[in-house]
Chain A
């Protein structure tokens, strides 16, 4: 199956700064997701996105987080004012119309210092 590309692969940012993580799924996929994995811990659901709207979000996904699909292909996760505890690996995932499984991107490792 086609890969999901995430950029950057690693980003270091200062606490309080805004970061934008990008995901480039295939355009005919309808459902997109962001997950987070803090180092050494399990993968946690953040948000699902369908038809240019958030369909569900977890309690982790507070007002500091937002998602967009600004140009019909890229899918972004923005963290407005990063905190130390936002340091984690962030995975984008896509789900196709007929594919009942996920394809995850290779992840972006975010380090907040």
Chain B
């Protein structure tokens, strides 16, 4: 069964500083990998996704993530955070089962931005 671990429950970063959110997955083959962001009381917005090809994936809002098969990781990065980036971030893995690509989510990392 697939699973996702986000080891950091809460991260606090100064505005303008760099950010890295960790994600480790467990899956028997090459997975689909996703990062979603959720503001309080809001829905899930897709930041980026990895399916194949280049292991460095660019997303919206200046985010990027790197798939490292050897480490089973898909860490999210941003070189300079903005106060508007404060939110909950979820990593998810999707099974490569045609017609049924259910997602398994991690427990999330809450990002706080300080001035």
Contact = CB atoms under 8 A, between A and B. Distances in A.
Interface of A is mostly: strand
Interface size bracket, A side: 20 to 34
Interface string B9-35: 000000000000000000000001010
Interface in B39-83: 41-46, 49, 51
Interface in B75-107: 90, 92, 99-107
Interface residues of B, number: 23
Contacts of A103: 46
Contact of B105 (A42, A48, A55, A107): A42
A86 to B, nearest CB: 18
Interface of A: 30-31, 33, 35, 41-45, 48, 50, 55-56, 91, 95, 100-107, 109
